[in-house]
């Protein structure tokens, strides 16, 4: 947890991350910038590829700010992708419309020979310089009471994409490598720990005030491997960042970790914990600690469906998790079919609670 006194920040999200239990939780939404917004789709059409969008500061800045203009949210999150890190390391990455990301898959035989953190060690950040330029531009444009959040993928999740060559159902290639050739797989994880610290440090230097580690595939490992491939390397990322930026709040999001959320909370040193929608709120407050800042965890399908059940579900989260420090969020990203008016209604309800 941050050692900052709870009262020095005027921004609501930073106060909660400092340990303050607010009456009304601050709010932002995972994937709040994106395809469900018509203004996003207009900008998307101006770039040939998804990666070009991420690497064009004028466009990425505009996309990052779009949800802040439309809704009364407390934070902007950098518009980018977790796969810019393997890209910067030298792996081929591309996006196929409607199919998601594709990578030229790594395997234990070819190993890591083609990968290097060289570019990320440069002053400007090499290939990712436009990403850090976007962070600066967003920070300059953002109102004073809004927080800017940077992010990276968790090392296990990024490794899974690098080895599977894209999304996977079974994760059998990456798990097989991790289980059977533990040494060479550790080299891949070590490389990602180093790259992630560099990537997030560049973001913080450019103006990110908080960072989130998206460990989206945390739910597919048995306990021993979870500790070795998720908890332990994440702890190294946290301590690497805190060595440079002692007060930096770091939100860990080990999606799907189930009962292992407890291990992650205890052993990584993260400032706050993002909860996926399947985590029971009362269990979380009890098992994960009454004073740990928590973030979450409305089911994105509630936001898609809208109406009374969305409001009831949101109220239940605030009632239970709000007994401690809480940042309201979804348990996963906004679904692309979500009507933007549902976001407006959710935010209005959460704000209304304070009046």
Candidate list 15, 31, 229, 255, residue with the active-site label: 31
Q: How far is the CB of 347 from its own copies (least distance, A)?
A: 19
Nearest to 275 by CA among 221, 287, 167: 287
**Nearest distance from C-beta of residue 299 to its own copies, angstroms:** 5
Q: Which is nearer to its own copies, 123 or 308 (CB)?
A: 308
Instruction: Pick the piece of the chain touching its own copies (CB under 8 A) from 54-62, 76-84, 232-240, 310-318.
Output: 310-318
**Cα(182)–Cα(175) distance, integer angstroms:** 10
Give the footprint of its own copies on residues 155-184 (CB under 8 A): 170-172, 175-176, 179-180, 182
Question: What H or E segment, with its residue span, contains residue 50?
Answer: helix 50-54
**For its own copies, which is the closer residue by CB, 43 or 178?**
178
* Footprint on residues 115-134 left by its own copies (CB under 8 A): none
**Least CB distance from residue 34 to its own copies, whole Å?**
14
Can 44 be counted among the known catalytic residues?
yes
Q: For its own copies, which is the closer residue by CB, 68 or 330?
A: 330
For tokens 């490598």, the residue is 177
In sequence order, which residues have a C-beta less than 8 Å from that of residue 267 and are 6 or more positions away? 227, 231, 232, 235
* Annotation says 35 is catalytic: yes
Contact 73, 67 (CB under 8 A): yes
Cα angle, residue 147 at apex, residues 142 and 150 outer, rounded to 5°:
100
3-class SS string, 281-307: HHHHHHHHCCCCCEEEEECHHHHHHCH
Q: For residues 90 and 256, which CB has a smaller minimum distance to its own copies in the complex?
A: 256
The DSSP-derived string for 73-104 is: -SEEE----TTHHHHHHT--EEEETTTEEEE-
Only one of the segments 74-82, 133-141, 239-247, 331-339 lies at the binding site for its own copies (rule: CB under 8 A); that segment is: 331-339
> Segment 174-233, which members bind its own copies (CB under 8 A)?
175-176, 179-180, 182, 219-226
* Shortest spacing between CB 345 and its own copies, in angstroms: 14
To the nearest whole angstrom, how small is the minimum distance from the Cβ of residue 182 to its own copies? 8
- Number of Cβ atoms within 10 Å of the Cβ of 58: 13
Question: Taking contact as CB under 8 A, which single stretch among the options 49-57, 193-201, 309-317, 344-352 is the one that binds its own copies?
Answer: 309-317
Q: Does 337 bind its own copies (CB under 8 A)?
A: yes
DSSP for 118-162, written as a single string: HHHHSTT-GGGHHHHHHHHHHHHHS-TT-EEEEEEE-HHHHHHHH
| Residue 112 is a binding residue for its own copies (CB under 8 A) | no
* Nearest CB to its own copies, comparing residues 136 and 173: 173
Instruction: Compute the least distance from the CB of residue 277 to its own copies, in Å.
Output: 5
Q: Residues 241 to 280: which contact its own copies by CB under 8 A? A: 256-263, 277-280
Residue linked to tokens 């030298």: 90
Evaluate the omega torsion of the peptide bond into residue 181 and state whether it is cis, within 30 degrees of 0.
no
**DSSP assigned state of 311:** H
| 31 is known as an active-site residue | yes
Q: Is 319 in the site for its own copies (CB under 8 A)?
A: no
Question: Judged by CB, which is closer to its own copies: 116, or 278?
Answer: 278
- Check residue 30 for interaction with its own copies (CB under 8 A): no
Cβ atoms of 35 and 100 closer than 8 Å: no
Measured between alpha carbons, how far is 153 from 306 in angstroms, rounded to an integer?
29
Q: List residues with catalytic annotation.
A: 31, 35, 44, 81, 161
Task: Give me the residues that bind its own copies (CB under 8 A), please.
Answer: 170-172, 175-176, 179-180, 182, 219-226, 256-263, 277-281, 283-284, 287, 297, 299, 301-302, 304-305, 307, 309-310, 313, 316, 331, 335, 337
């Amino acid at each position: 947890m941050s050692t900052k006194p709870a009262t020095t920040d005027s921004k609501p999200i930073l106060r909660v991350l400092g340990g303050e239990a607010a009456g009304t939780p601050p709010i932002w939404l995972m994937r709040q910038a994106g395809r469900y917004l018509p203004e996003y789709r207009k900008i998307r059409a101006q770039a040939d590829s998804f990666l070009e969008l991420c690497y064009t500061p004028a466009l990425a800045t505009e996309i990052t700010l779009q949800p802040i203009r439309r809704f009364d949210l407390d934070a902007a999150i950098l518009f980018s992708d977790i796969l810019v890190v393997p890209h910067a390391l030298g792996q081929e990455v591309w996006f196929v419309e409607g199919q998601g990301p594709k990578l030229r898959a790594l395997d234990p035989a070819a190993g890591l020979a083609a990968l290097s953190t060289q570019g990320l060690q440069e002053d400007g950040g090499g290939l990712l310089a436009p990403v850090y330029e976007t962070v600066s531009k967003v920070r300059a444009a953002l109102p004073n009471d809004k927080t800017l959040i940077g992010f990276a993928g968790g090392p296990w999740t990024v490794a899974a994409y690098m080895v599977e060559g894209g999304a996977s159902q079974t994760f059998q290639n990456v798990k097989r490598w991790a289980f059977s050739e533990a040494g060479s797989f550790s080299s891949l994880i070590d490389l990602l720990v180093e790259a992630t610290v560099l990537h997030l440090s560049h973001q913080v230097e450019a103006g990110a005030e908080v960072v989130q580690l998206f460990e989206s595939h945390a739910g597919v490992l048995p306990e021993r491997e979870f500790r070795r491939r998720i908890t332990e390397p994440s702890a190294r990322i946290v301590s690497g960042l805190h060595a440079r930026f002692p007060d930096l709040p770091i939100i860990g999001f080990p999606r799907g970790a189930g009962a292992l959320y407890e291990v992650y909370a205890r052993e990584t040193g993260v400032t706050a914990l993002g909860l996926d929608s399947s985590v029971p709120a009362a269990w979380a407050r009890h098992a994960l600690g009454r004073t740990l800042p928590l973030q979450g965890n409305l089911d994105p399908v509630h936001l898609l469906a809208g109406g009374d059940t969305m409001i009831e579900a949101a109220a239940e989260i605030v009632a239970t998790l709000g007994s401690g420090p809480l940042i309201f969020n979804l348990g996963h990203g906004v679904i692309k079919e979500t009507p933007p008016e549902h976001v407006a209604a959710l935010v209005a309800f959460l704000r209304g609670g304070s009046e």
